[in-house]
Amino acid sequence: MKFIVSSSALLKPIQTLSGVLNTTNTLPILDHFLFEVSDNTLRVTATDLETTMSAVISVEADDSGSVAVPARLLLETIKTFPEQPLTFTLTDQNTIEISSNYGKYALAYATAEEFPKAASVSDASQISMPGNVLATAINSTLFASGNDDLRPVMSGVFFQFSSTGLTFVATDAHKLVRYFRTDITSDESAEFIMPKKPLTLLKSILTGDEVDVQLEYNNSNARFVFDDIELTCRLIDGKYPNYEAVIPKDNPNVLTIDRNLFLTTMKRVSIFSNKTTHQVRLKLAGAELNISAEDIDYSNRAEERLSCSYQGSDMQIGFNARFLIEMLNNMTCKEVQFEMSLPNRAGLLTPLDGTEENEQITMLVMPVMLNN
């Protein structure tokens, strides 16, 4: 087996695929890329058994064949080359040899038969969507997903397709984000939970890219196909909590405020909060918002007053500052609306601008009990 490929044409896909690899693997073969050559194309595949991703690259080849190449060693080597053709040749010494303008490099390979096969997505349903829409949906929700191994369903993003639109939800029981789109619909209703890792990979590749993404899914696996890339992953098994039930419907107290002002104040004041609870107190009266934090153990205290637009009765409510900061950081709008009802009920954060007319973002944050 022998083929010639441009160094830069090879570098970009293998850098992308390296995101699939784990730093510690029980199976040595998972530290390899699978190379499959046929008809002047090279398919490179990486897997961690749960997520499998492959990319197709044009090469010059006279024959076909397949081999598993050590991923880290290959990546570190290819990174150092300026743009030039590289010749890969399988030798009799159980090595694959790379010839460049500078010299030759031999890497010990493994046989392609050892490499795990990707899960097949049979009897699949399909839906197509623009890449940047999928990236925005992932971006808006992924940060709110949990890390609790005891509740694996909350460690991913819930995809819900219907004839009215697409819904993406993530929660860790303290905060929740629902991203809804009406411009893309599905003929059949479906719901499944996508794990974090493949979503992180998709987000980094698709941000700002308008390429059409073909999504195929069944009860256990999902496959995303776009450009020359294919990603297959196992879905999280289990039933997602009823998120609709926790979103409060009646919120008479409405605060409207500049997002950046709210965010920078929150960051500053939270420095003085208790290092365990990160508690900040929001005091609302008239057209004034008072944000304060206190760490009694160290006698640290901070308080700021902001002018805002507020309709509702005077109230005091406590929140974990980290959750609010995270949510405000993941918005792109100029002004936000913060809806509340009672000091022990969740608050709803929504952007007032910066969204398209067919998208809705709702962020929910649970309050913390104030110690008076």
Q: What does pLDDT average to over the chain?
A: 95
Give the model's confidence band at 372: pLDDT under 50 very low, under 70 low, under 90 confident, else very high: low
> DSSP letter at 282?
E
Q: Where in the chain is the domain with CATH 3.10.150.10?
A: 2-114, 125-244, 247-368
Q: Quick one: which of 235, 234, 230 has its CA closest to 53?
A: 230
| Structural class in CATH, domain 2-114 | alpha beta
Q: Quick one: which of 206, 82, 216 has its CA closest to 135?
A: 206
Does the pTM surpass 0.85? The reply is yes
Fold of 125-244: DNA Polymerase III; Chain A, domain 2 (3.10.150)
Give the percent of the chain with pLDDT over 70.
100
Region 232-238: mean pLDDT is 96
Query: Which residues have CB under 8 Å from 139's CB, separation 6+?
Result: 203, 207, 330
The pLDDT tens digits for 223-234 are 999 999 999 999
Region 84-88: mean pLDDT is 97
Region 71-85: mean pLDDT is 96
| Structural class in CATH, domain 247-368 | alpha beta
Q: What is the CA radius of gyration of the chain?
A: 25
Query: Which residues have CB under 8 Å from 133's CB, separation 6+?
Result: 181, 184
Region 304-331: mean pLDDT is 96
In the predicted structure, residue 371 carries a pLDDT above the cut 80: no
Q: What are the helix (H) ranges across the chain? A: 7-17, 71-79, 131-141, 196-206, 259-270, 321-329
